[in-house]
């Protein structure tokens, strides 16, 4: 069944990167890419920063005909990926259609909200807590499944938010509600 904008469940893929290092004031400089998760329908894929894995991700994103969905991807995930593709693979990030939930919320409500608070307000669910981002590198080395589980939870939350967008259902920001346009 098509949803808003004619997009169906298999017509989009949610991606999310996990990094360590860097400063939010200087994205993407200094960020070490640890893993990138992708969810398309009920299928998950995890890509590491190893050149072979990164090349698979680059090929997937370049060939994916649907909408790539992120939460703050325009400001963070995509610049980090583009930087790593350039340095590791000698190629730029190629992406067809992109939908950034945070950008759309900012347009609709003239403010930003974190994924965790938005999900808590909208459907009562929260992200997995891992502590400060500066520890992700250690977590990745000691217990990579823990970081992968964290990433998968972010993928699931972003996926559910985007399904609400497609069904034209509201997102709750705490003190206001928005209905975002479908891509």
Quote the pLDDT of residue 6.
57
- Of the ranges 10-14, 100-104, 126-130, 161-165, which one carries the lowest mean pLDDT score? 126-130
pLDDT of residue 7: 55
pLDDT tens column, 23-37: 888 888 889 999 999
- Residue-wise over 46-61: b if at least 16 C-beta within 10 A, else e? bbbbeeeebeebbebb
Q: Which domains does the chain have, with CATH numbers?
A: 4-178 (3.30.420.10)
For the whole model, what pTM was predicted?
Answer: 0.92
CA gap 166, 9 in Å, rounded: 9
Q: Give pLDDT, residue 59.
A: 98
Task: Establish whether the linkage from the previous residue to 28 is cis, with ω within 30° of 0.
Answer: yes
Distance CA 54, CA 88 (A): 8
């Amino acid at each position: 069944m098509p949803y808003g904008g004619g997009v169906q469940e298999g017509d989009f893929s949610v991606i999310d990167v996990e990094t360590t290092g860097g400063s939010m004031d200087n994205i993407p400089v200094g960020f070490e890419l640890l893993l990138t998760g992708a969810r398309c329908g009920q299928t998950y894929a995890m890509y590491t920063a190893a050149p072979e894995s990164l090349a698979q991700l680059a090929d997937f994103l370049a060939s994916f005909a649907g909408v790539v969905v992120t939460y703050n991807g325009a400001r963070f995930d995509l610049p980090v990926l583009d930087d790593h593709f350039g340095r590791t693979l000698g190629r730029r990030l190629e992406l067809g259609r992109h939908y950034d939930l945070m950008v759309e919320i900012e347009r609709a409500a003239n403010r930003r909200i974190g994924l965790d608070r938005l999900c808590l307000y909208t459907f009562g669910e929260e992200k997995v807590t891992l502590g400060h981002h500066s520890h992700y590198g250690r977590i990745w080395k000691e217990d990579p499944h823990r970081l992968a589980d964290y990433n998968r939870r972010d993928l699931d939350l972003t996926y559910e938010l985007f399904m609400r967008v497609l069904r034209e259902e509201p997102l709750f920001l705490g003190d206001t509600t928005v209905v975002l346009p479908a891509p």
